[in-house]
């Protein structure tokens, strides 16, 4: 492994607040694929509100490279005591380590906690600094005696530098909706196969027939009462599935304070009383195109098909009305294809210190990637859109 050039100063930050906000966000703005979840305010909010801390199994160790007092590269880095909240599953690797009497945890993780949104992970002012950051990351992990390092949901520039340093690439599939410029939701439906179109109409009619109505709140219009109600829904849905919520009410309070324009809330009511809610994040790219990210939802009452309406149909209709080019529906869930969210390849990269496990995991990842690629092709063949022959 080559040595890191001496003109770089490595600083490991125990809290992201130790890094000046303007310096971090300057690198963020230069990223090829920035997302709102990599901004300084979002990552700091996770730490400031206790969602990310030692007690929750996330120990911040953010890696930064400096030239003098100029931040030239950085990434959000955590020591993980478990594999929860990642959406890229390595439980089998951890069990294999345990069976051989070795410690898999803590491991090093470059990711946005609880957020499987693809985008640039290695922030840098240029390709040379990004390469230096990747090298510093690998050297730091080795120096700490850790089992492994993982970069989750990165992009092509991350791939280029990590592949160069011998990291293993692992493929996943997400489901994203793309706007073809339809004038309204009905025009979008007209492009779907008849059976899919009928199913969506039936699902929407079921929700409406049960007296559910939606209103949309954008940006500053999402007041404290709306955030309070959203959190009640979000937390209850987690508890109903037997898990405590990852995020706290104070975290969402921070979101309301920093960059409120990045959020859209869809509130469902019945008999005049709110009873469900979904939250979508927004990002505008340098070319002016906009992306919406389906993030959180919850309900206080059970209504058939409400999840589909709140999490897919309402956001898609809003995207069409507001000229948003893409809606990302989050990790997993082939059921999303029936709602016209199409399979999209995403990736993570992994470096394993032990050469024996590295060889075994490399073989596993190669076979898994072939299977994922074949699965994606099979999914593409099941497109819900009408063919030109229909």
Do both 280 and 187 map to the same domain?
Answer: yes
Residue of 72, 79, 60, 69 whose CA lies nearest to 24? 72
Does pLDDT of 388 surpass 50?
A: no
Do both 55 and 157 map to the same domain?
Answer: yes
Q: Is residue 84 part of a domain?
A: yes
Do both 158 and 184 map to the same domain?
Answer: no
Per-residue burial over 49-68, b if 16 or more Cβ lie within 10 Å, else e, is bebbeeebbbbbbbbbbbee
Residue of 42, 220, 27 whose CA lies nearest to 114? 42
Q: Is residue 334 part of a domain?
A: no
Inter-residue contact 380 to 372 (CB < 8 Å): no
Do both 232 and 155 map to the same domain?
Answer: no
Our count of domains for the chain comes to 2
Which pTM was predicted?
0.95
How far is Cα 350 from Cα 106, in angstroms, rounded to an integer? 14
Which pLDDT band, with edges at 50, 70 and 90, does 111 fall under? very high
Do both 190 and 147 map to the same domain?
Answer: no
Which pLDDT band, with edges at 50, 70 and 90, does 333 fall under? confident
Q: What is the pLDDT of residue 57?
A: 95
Do both 269 and 153 map to the same domain?
Answer: no
Inter-residue contact 282 to 260 (CB < 8 Å): no
Percentage of residues in the chain with pLDDT exceeding 70?
Answer: 99
Residues 6+ apart with CB under 8 A from 86: 80, 109, 111, 116, 150, 152
Do both 25 and 160 map to the same domain?
Answer: yes
Q: Is residue 302 part of a domain?
A: yes
Q: What is the pLDDT of residue 1?
A: 65
Distances (CA, A) of 30 to 24, 27, 51, 70: 10, 5, 28, 15
How far is Cα 232 from Cα 229, in angstroms, rounded to an integer? 5
Q: Is residue 4 part of a domain?
A: no
User: Which range marks the domain in which residue 126 is found?
Assistant: 9-173+344-380
Angle, to 10 degrees, between the axis of helix 156-164 and the axis of helix 127-143?
60
DSSP category for residue 335: G
Q: Is residue 210 part of a domain?
A: yes
Q: What is the pLDDT of residue 2?
A: 72
Do both 296 and 364 map to the same domain?
Answer: no
Show the 3-state SS of 177-231. Answer: EECCCCCCHHHHHHCECHHHHHHHHHHHHHHHHCCEEEEEEEHHHCCHHHHHHHH
Does pLDDT of 372 surpass 80?
A: yes
Which pLDDT band, with edges at 50, 70 and 90, does 17 fall under? very high
Do both 275 and 313 map to the same domain?
Answer: yes
Do both 185 and 263 map to the same domain?
Answer: yes
Do both 277 and 187 map to the same domain?
Answer: yes
Do both 159 and 49 map to the same domain?
Answer: yes
Determine the 3-state secondary structure of 259 from DSSP: coil
Inter-residue contact 105 to 147 (CB < 8 Å): yes
Q: What is the pLDDT of residue 146?
A: 97
For residue 189, give both structure tokens.
């439906």
Residues in the chain: 390
DSSP category for residue 59: E
Q: Is residue 332 part of a domain?
A: no
Q: Is residue 338 part of a domain?
A: no
* CATH number, domain containing residue 224: 3.40.630.30
What do you get for the CA distance between the two ends of the chain, in Å? 57
Q: What is the pLDDT of residue 78?
A: 98
DSSP category for residue 109: E
Q: Is residue 355 part of a domain?
A: yes
Q: What is the mean pLDDT of residues 216-226?
A: 96
10, containing H or E segment: strand 9-13
- pLDDT tens digit sequence for 283-320: 999 899 999 999 999 999 999 999 999 999 999 999 99
- pLDDT tens digit sequence for 174-193: 999 999 999 999 999 999 99
Residue 90: how many other CB atoms lie within 10 Å: 19
């Amino acid at each position: 492994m080559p040595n890191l050039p001496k003109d770089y100063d490595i600083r490991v930050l125990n809290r992201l607040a130790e890094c000046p906000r303007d310096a971090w966000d300057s690198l963020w703005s230069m990223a090829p694929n920035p997302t709102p979840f990599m901004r300084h305010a979002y990552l700091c909010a996770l730490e400031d509100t206790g969602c990310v801390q030692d007690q929750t199994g996330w120990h911040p160790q953010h890696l930064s490279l400096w030239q003098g007092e100029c931040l030239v590269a950085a990434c959000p880095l955590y020591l993980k005591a478990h594999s929860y909240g990642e959406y890229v599953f390595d439980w089998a690797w951890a069990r294999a380590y345990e069976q051989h009497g070795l410690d898999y945890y803590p491991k090093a993780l470059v990711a946005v906690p609880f957020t499987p949104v693809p985008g640039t992970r290695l922030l840098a002012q240029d390709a040379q600094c990004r390469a230096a950051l990747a090298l510093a990351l690998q050297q730091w992990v080795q120096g700490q005696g850790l089992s492994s390092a993982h970069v989750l949901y990165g992009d092509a520039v991350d791939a280029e530098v990590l592949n160069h340093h011998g990291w293993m690439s692992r493929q996943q599939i997400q489901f994203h909706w793309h706007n073809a410029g339809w004038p309204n939701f009905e025009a979008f439906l007209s492009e779907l196969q008849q059976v899919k179109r009928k199913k969506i109409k039936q699902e929407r009619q079921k929700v409406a027939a049960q007296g559910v109505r939606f209103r949309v709140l954008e940006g500053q219009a999402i007041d404290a009462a709306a955030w309070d109600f959203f959190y009640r829904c979000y937390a209850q849905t987690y508890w109903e599935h037997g898990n405590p919520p990852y995020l706290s009410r104070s975290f969402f309070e921070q979101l309301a304070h920093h960059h409120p324009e990045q959020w859209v809330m869809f509130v469902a009511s019945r008999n005049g009383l709110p009873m469900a809610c979904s939250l979508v994040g927004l990002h505008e790219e340098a070319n002016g195109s906009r992306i919406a990210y389906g993030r959180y939802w919850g309900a206080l009452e059970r209504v058939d098909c409400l999840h589909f309406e709140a999490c897919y149909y309402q956001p898609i209709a809003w995207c069409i009305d507001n000229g948003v080019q893409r809606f990302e529906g989050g990790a997993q869930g082939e059921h999303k294809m029936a709602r016209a969210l199409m399979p999209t390849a995403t990736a993570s990269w992994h470096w394993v210190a032990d050469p024996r496990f590295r060889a075994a995991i490399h073989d596993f990842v190669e076979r898994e990637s072939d299977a994922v690629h074949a699965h994606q092709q099979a999914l593409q063949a099941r497109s819900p859109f009408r063919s030109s022959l229909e």
